[in-house]
Structure 1
Amino acid sequence: MSEGNFYSNRVAVVTGGGRGFGKAFGMALAARGAHAVLVDIDGTVAEEAAADIRASGGQATGFGGDVTDEARMAEIMKQAAALGAKNGNPGIDILINNAGLHSDEYGQPIFKMGLAKVKRLFDVNVIGVVTCTIAAAEYMRGRAGASMVNIASSAGHMGGSAYGDTKLAVSGLTITFARELGPDGVRVNAISPGLMLTETIAAELPPETKARVKAMQMIGDDGKEEHIVDAMLFLTSPQASFVTGEVLRVTGGMAAGV
């Protein structure tokens, strides 16, 4: 089965899909024939991203919703599954749990952020993954080639920040959900990006921090959005049919080690 045929007419839900990695994931999946369902806390941004995909000839739908809102995520997953009905096979084939808080605001020490921000950080980055996975799972069980990809972070391997702790939890949840959904034929993996110079990160990151991180890499090039998109396409493809419960580090060697 070719990759192009594999994605054709499949339903792929991407949280945090209005911008950044999420939009890039949606565009790549739609370009291969999937119907990209972009979910974002900003519904206008989600629909604008979906419109961009449609303008380029792909299939896409945008929804507004907070990934911590159980009722809203359940409704979105129900509507996403129904999109497959026109092809005679309602359901969800791919879930990318990408939504997360990661700006400089949430990269501060716990005592500087305070309890309210720390709670919000864990609610979105950890409980959001649980909420969306539970909501989507009933529409994914038993579907050939169904898979989930969670977005973790190299910060989870390095310790020392609440943000990293949330991404360490995402890595743990990946193994747990892989074990629980494996008997139903759903693979669950994660991608752990290193320093990826997206527009947001490049604008926020002090030059000295960029230099320090790059000095830790084994590959001297800049990490780019397409590196993470390529990893997602591998993990959701038939080439990864025997891969589940894994965390794929895409860090230029920065996070290498046991």
Structure 2
Amino acid sequence: MSEWQGRTAVVTGGGRGFGKAFGTALAMEGAHAVLVDIDGSEAEAAAEEIRAAGGWALGLAGDVTDEARMAEVMARAADAQGGIDLLINNAGLHSDEYGQPITKLGLAKMRRLFDVNVMGVVCCTLAAAPHMQGRAGASIVNISSSAAHMGGSPYGDSKLAVAGLTITFARELGPLGIRVNAISPGLMLTETIRNELPPATMARVKAMQLIDGDGAEEDIVEAMLYLASRRARFVTGEVLRVTGGMAAGV
């Protein structure tokens, strides 16, 4: 029997992309997948797909920057099995727009970027932690980015903050029995990336990889399944780079 049988996983940004893939993989392993997205119709559509495939899923609308709503969402998620076993902080702003220089992006968009990508992680973690405390194997997986290790963009700076929060929360939540780790994806040729990222940018990034190949959504799903599993019971405060070697460094 899968270790995920009957356990509850909350995935923010769960309506599409990595979030939907995370929820689907966990539900197929027997988890109760709660997909949270600012677009409630997308979250419910993704959940319906999972249910149609034989898994358990619930789609909920919610803005990760809304403290009151996230408290409601986590309480609702905890109802299924008396608590939350896994939180994946995946929601974030990540289009090419947020790779622009700060002088072009402007203050209002900078505030929005950090509110979602950074404070959203804080908001959801604080809301979920009371429902995770004391749950055997409880863990949090944050989604950072290879951009965090490269420097030079507001988006990367926001994801560098996520990497920092991963260590801070690992320290603070460790005594409660909650592990906290992060994944830094490199260039993953998802549908969203193909639609949003200019071909020249994709070519430049691929030229920096040490592995000659295309990253895929499944690579990030597998990394998540490892970090959230019992196999990683002694792993916390870490950022796993899944970049084909693009962001290799010490």
Are the equivalent residues in 1 in contact too, given 2:28–2:55 (CA < 8 A)?
Answer: yes
TM-score by length of 1: 0.96
- 1:221 — aligned with what? 213
Unaligned runs of at least 5 residues, structure 1: 85-89
Are the equivalent residues in 1 in contact too, given 2:87–2:141 (CA < 8 A)?
Answer: yes
- 1:87 — aligned with what? none
Q: 2:121 aligns with which of 125, 129, 133?
A: 129
Q: Which letter does structure 1 place at the counterpart of 2:144?
A: A
Q: Which letter does structure 2 place at the counterpart of 1:63?
A: L
Q: Within 2, Cα distance between the matches of 1:127 and 1:205?
A: 25
Q: 2:182 aligns with which of 172, 179, 190?
A: 190
Q: 2:22 aligns with which of 14, 20, 25?
A: 25
Q: 2:224 aligns with which of 218, 232, 256?
A: 232
Q: Within 1, Cα distance between the matches of 2:165 and 2:157?
A: 12
Q: Within 1, Cα distance between the matches of 2:204 and 2:76?
A: 45
Q: Percent identity?
A: 76
- 2:8 — aligned with what? 11
Q: Within 2, Cα distance between the matches of 1:207 and 1:16?
A: 25
Moved more, 128-137 or 99-108: 99-108
Cα deviation, residue 112, structure 1: 1.1
Does residue 39 (structure 1) correspond to residue 31 (structure 2)? The answer is no
Q: Within 2, Cα distance between the matches of 1:184 and 1:204?
A: 40
Q: Which letter does structure 2 place at the counterpart of 1:74?
A: A
Cα deviation, residue 105, structure 1: 2.1
Q: Within 1, Cα distance between the matches of 2:194 and 2:176?
A: 41
- 1:103 — aligned with what? 95
- 1:75 — aligned with what? 72
Q: Within 2, Cα distance between the matches of 1:193 and 1:120?
A: 22
- 2:168 — aligned with what? 176
Q: Which letter does structure 2 place at the counterpart of 1:221?
A: G
Q: Within 2, Cα distance between the matches of 1:204 and 1:137?
A: 34
State the Cα RMSD in Å: 0.7
4+ residue segments displaced more than 6 Å? none
- 2:140 — aligned with what? 148
Equivalent pairs counted in the alignment come to 250
Cα deviation, residue 210, structure 1: 1.4
- 1:58 — aligned with what? 55
Moved more, 24-33 or 112-121: 112-121
Q: 2:104 aligns with which of 107, 112, 120?
A: 112
Q: Which letter does structure 2 place at the counterpart of 1:179?
A: R
Cα deviation, residue 104, structure 1: 1.7
Q: Within 1, Cα distance between the matches of 2:198 and 2:84?
A: 40
Q: Within 2, Cα distance between the matches of 1:211 and 1:65?
A: 35
Are the equivalent residues in 1 in contact too, given 2:89–2:142 (CA < 8 A)?
Answer: yes
Q: Within 1, Cα distance between the matches of 2:11 and 2:212?
A: 30
Cα deviation, residue 216, structure 1: 0.7
Q: Which letter does structure 1 place at the counterpart of 2:73?
A: I
